Chain A
Amino acid sequence: MKKNIQMPKLSEKMESGVLAAWNKEVGENVEKGEVLFEIETEKVVSEVESLESGVLEAIYFEAGDEIKVDDIIAVINCD
């Protein structure tokens, strides 16, 4: 099954954030709980852990892109 990974809301007032870095590449295995990417917004760096285990199948944004909360960032294939 394919799961969409969305931009998380990390504080009450957050509307968007900058995807600061990918910690995984397309095609790589991801375990639940591993850091998938990092977000930087207002000088806050947040490590975002994967909620799924599987293969990172696609990414739709690159480091440096500003992304709205809930937008789909990536797809993990959990099969």
Chain B
Amino acid sequence: MKYVNSKNNNVNYNLAVEEYIFSNMMDDDFLLLWVNDPCVVIGKHQNIFEEVNCKEIQKNGVTVARRNSGGGTVFQDKGNLNFTLITDYNPDNFSGYDEFLSPIIKILNEMGIPAEKRNVCDIAIGDKKISGNAQSIKKNRVLHHGTLLFDADLDALRTQLKPVNGEFKSKAVKSIRSSVTNIIDHLADKNLDFEGFKEVILNSLCSNEIDEVKLSAADIEKIRALEKSKYVTWNWIYGFSPTFIFKKRGDFKDHQFDLYLVVEKGKIKESKFKSITLPVEKIESLLSGHRYDYFVLTDLFSGIKDLEDFADCLF
């Protein structure tokens, strides 16, 4: 197994590193360890608008990313260690998660942590989750990745993400909220820090024979290109969301309204307003075809008399 150590803390760059190795380097098994600056990461087939408050995210400049694997939304910071394992896949003898989770659980147990597998793809201490895992399968390769909460400050980010005031209808994959705990609070060795924990995981997974691969300048150039053409784009992060309906009863200044939006590939395909006092037809025709995006809609209404700031109540 070859080891790739990503020293970059940008989630979208790191997701591009993963995908590049997964799609292009077929000759070996790979382990990647990576750490992200504070960010929100959603599952591939989730509706981002339903999972997080996009208006708050955009206003506050929170980094968001859409990964290639399934499952729900996670909040990360530098107290969370991400691990990725890439290997061959054969549907006839594929066991799913066990072959990847068992070695991790064993390492944690050897450190004195009473970690156990929970549900299909979580690792927990008692009823509190310490690791969420997901996979992506493509041709004859599988990518497994997971989080390991070492000393993450999850409340800091979570409090920024106020839930959306409205009702969503979609067939998108929904997140399941779990209560979580940090590994550091369960360690016998109180002197072990994040870097020390990472070393233990690395050495144990590689059976103390670390075969580190340095990505070449040409590799990094292609990874940068993938990051730019896919991971940081609006079409991927927002537009890849499955079609959804958003309904809300709201107020704008002294006007009450009912809003009904159909959003397809991130764009407003249909909008219906009910209001006694607002110019509903004008609003509906303005919105049609635009991205359901806080900045785009703020610009759209900014020069329009009596409707400036109207975008604020559309989320």
Binding site for B on A (CB under 8 A): 8-13, 18, 20-21, 38, 40-47, 49, 62-65
Determine the residue in chain A with the shortest Cβ distance to B172: A64
B120 within 8 A of A: yes
Residues of B within 8 A of A (CB): 43-45, 68-72, 91-97, 120-121, 133-139, 170-173, 242-243
In the complex, the answer to whether B242 meets A47 with C-beta atoms within 8 Å is no
- The interface residues of chain B lying within 8 Å CB-to-CB of A18 are 173
Count contacts between A and B, CB distance < 8 Å: 77
Within the assembled complex, what's the spacing in Å between the Cα atoms of A38 and B137? Answer: 10
Q: Is the interface of B mostly helix, strand, loop or mixed?
A: loop
A42 to B100, CA, bound (A): 15
Residues of chain A with a CB closer than 8 A to B135's CB: 43-45
CA distance A13 to B44 in the complex (A): 23
Q: Is the CB of A45 within 8 A of B70?
A: yes
Using A8-B91, A11-B95, A64-B171 as known contacts, say yes or no to A44 and B138 having CB atoms under 8 A apart: no
Task: Report yes or no: B137 in contact with A42, Cβ–Cβ below 8 A.
Answer: no
> A71 vs B53: C-alpha distance in the bound complex, in angstroms?
37
Give A40 to B69 CA distance when docked, in angstroms.
Answer: 9
CB distance from B110 to the nearest CB of A (A): 26
Q: A11-B96, A12-B95 are in contact. Are A46 and B242 (CB under 8 A)?
A: no
Select one of B69, B91, B243 contacting A9, CB under 8 A.
B91
CB proximity of B314 to chain A, nearest CB, Å: 24
Q: Are B137 and A45 within 8 A (Cβ)?
A: yes
Contacts of B96 on A, CB cut-off 8 Å?
Answer: 11-13, 42, 44
Determine how close the nearest CB of chain B comes to the CB of A47; give it in whole angstroms: 5
- Write out the residue numbers on chain B whose beta carbons fall within 8 Å of the beta carbon of A45: 44-45, 68-70, 134-137
8 closest A-B pairs (Cβ-Cβ)? Answer: A64-B171, A43-B71, A43-B134, A46-B137, A43-B70, A44-B135, A20-B45, A40-B70
Report B-chain residues with C-beta under 8 Å of the C-beta of A63: 45, 171, 242-243
Q: Could you tell me the distance in whole angstroms from the C-beta of A61 to the nearest C-beta in chain B? A: 11
Q: Contacts of B242 on A, CB cut-off 8 Å?
A: 21, 63-64
Q: List 22 A-B contacts (CB under 8 A).
A: A10-B91, A10-B137, A11-B91, A13-B96, A18-B173, A20-B45, A38-B45, A40-B45, A42-B97, A42-B120, A43-B43, A43-B134, A44-B135, A44-B136, A44-B137, A45-B69, A45-B70, A45-B135, A46-B136, A46-B137, A47-B139, A63-B242
**A17 to B235 Cα, complex, angstroms:** 26
Q: Is the CB of A20 within 8 A of B69?
A: no
Measured CA separation A57–B80 after assembly (Å)? 47
Q: In the assembled complex, which residues on chain B have CB atoms less than 8 Å from the CB atom of A38?
A: 44-45
> A8 to chain B: which residues have CB within 8 Å?
91
A-B contacts besides A45-B137, A65-B171, 17 pairs, CB < 8 Å: A10-B94, A11-B91, A12-B92, A12-B94, A40-B45, A40-B70, A40-B173, A43-B70, A43-B121, A43-B133, A44-B69, A44-B136, A45-B68, A49-B139, A64-B170, A64-B171, A64-B172
